[in-house]
């Protein structure tokens, strides 16, 4: 894989990850762009012990443009996009409308004595999986998935080294039902200046289990699921995809390596090669459930950068809000108000349907 780094017209970083060593990426960004916005503001919620990002500049971000104005397609002729080259394999660049960034202006004052405020220091990047606007991740080749995984490993390592970054979160949103604003196949990476609430909860459970048993909670749960097989959808030598016994979403699958590793950079070559065929099979099963493109979120759970890395176990959480061909799962009163999920489909039934798809 060839890695080429350039600067866009407004100073943002862009990196090409090419599968050919002879790829030439010397095309300049010919746009006239304003400077990137300053970092957002983080406000602390003392009632939940959580940070909330206030990023008012994102209100004007690009929203569902027509295909001939897609900012993630290559630049061709007189049409200039975020990617200056006329073609690409995988490309990563700083988000033009970031929730978090390293461009910190003045330190904000507190809102109230209970609400400390600090800059939204971190980084948000966009990951384009292919230059084909009409493709999807499920239609990529296993070789391309390996390139994407190597790019995510590269970015996880680089972002983990940034000042103040505590957790790196790669993810993909697919489908207007999920809330995507661009149809071009792409994902994102958030580098947070704190450990996220979901991860803190999982680490606390893992720490209690380790103190009690000396074991790794996720590794032991995975071993139990593999031994049972009731909720396993598919597996190979290095990975297993299974529906969690307490799945929150109608169709939710964890894709986990058999060897406990903290993050994507820790995967070896064999594990990286084995991921693509299994994950592509799983995505096609999702699309086959109702014979239509399945809206989903694919979320990589990685260990924090600096703390509790021994408690983590890398896994990809793939889930959809679609519960039937003509029905979506909305986060209504119980889920949104109290954080208590009510699932309409038994996890065992979801696994059965995915195995048959």
Tally Cβ neighbours within 10 Å of residue 4: 16
Within 8 A by CB and 6+ apart from 285, the residues are: 233, 234, 354, 355, 357
In angstroms, rounded to a whole number, what is the distance separating the alpha carbons of residues 76 and 118?
Answer: 41
Catalytic residue among 183, 184, 186, 301: 186
Tally Cβ neighbours within 10 Å of residue 204: 12
Within 8 A by CB and 6+ apart from 139, the residues are: none
Task: Let me know if 313 is a catalytic residue.
Answer: no
- Both tokens of 21, joined, read 């060593």
* 44 closest CA partner among 138, 108, 139: 108
Phi, psi of 149 (to 5 degrees): -65, -40
In angstroms, rounded to a whole number, what is the distance separating the alpha carbons of residues 95 and 80?
Answer: 16
Residues 92-105 as b/e (b if ≥16 CB within 10 A, e otherwise) read bbbbbbbbbbbbee
Beta bridge partners of 18: 2
End-to-end Cα separation, the chain, in angstroms? 34
Question: Which is it for the CA torsion 76, 181, 292, 241, positive or negative?
Answer: positive
Enzyme catalytic residues: 186
């Amino acid at each position: 894989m060839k890695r080429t780094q350039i600067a866009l017209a407004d100073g943002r970083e862009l990196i090409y990850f090419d599968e050919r060593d002879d790829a030439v990426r010397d095309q300049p960004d010919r746009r006239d762009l304003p400077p990137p916005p300053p970092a957002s503001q983080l406000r602390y919620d003392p009632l939940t012990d959580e940070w909330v990002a206030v990023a008012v500049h994102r209100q004007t971000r690009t929203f569902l443009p027509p295909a001939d104005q897609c900012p993630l397609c290559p630049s061709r002729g007189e049409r200039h996009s975020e990617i200056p080259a006329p073609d690409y394999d995988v490309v990563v660049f700083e988000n033009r409308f970031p929730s978090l960034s390293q461009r910190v202006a003045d330190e904000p004052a507190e809102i109230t004595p209970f609400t400390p405020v600090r800059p939204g220091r971190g980084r948000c990047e966009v990951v384009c999986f292919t230059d084909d606007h009409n493709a999807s991740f499920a239609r990529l080749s296993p070789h391309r998935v390996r390139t994407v995984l190597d790019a995510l490993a590269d970015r996880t390592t680089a972002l983990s080294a940034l000042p103040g970054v505590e957790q790196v979160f790669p993810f993909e949103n697919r489908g207007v039902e999920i809330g995507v604003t661009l149809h071009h196949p792409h994902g994102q990476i958030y580098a947070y200046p704190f450990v996220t609430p979901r991860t803190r909860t999982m680490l606390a459970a893992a720490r209690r289990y380790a103190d009690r048993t000396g074991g790794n909670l996720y590794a032991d749960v995975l071993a139990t699921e593999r031994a049972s097989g009731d909720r396993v959808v598919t597996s190979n030598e290095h990975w297993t995809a299974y529906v969690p016994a307490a799945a929150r979403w109608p169709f939710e699958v964890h894709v986990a390596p058999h060897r406990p590793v903290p993050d994507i950079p820790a995967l070896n070559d064999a594990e990286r090669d084995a991921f693509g065929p299994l994950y592509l099979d799983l995505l096609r099963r999702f699309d086959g459930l109702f014979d239509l493109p399945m809206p989903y979120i694919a979320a990589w759970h990685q260990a924090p950068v600096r703390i509790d890395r021994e408690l983590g176990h890398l896994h990809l959480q793939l889930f959809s809000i679609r519960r039937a061909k003509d029905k979506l799962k909305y986060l209504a009163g119980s889920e949104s108000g109290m954080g208590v999920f009510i699932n309409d489909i038994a996890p065992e039934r979801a696994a059965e349907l995915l195995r048959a798809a």
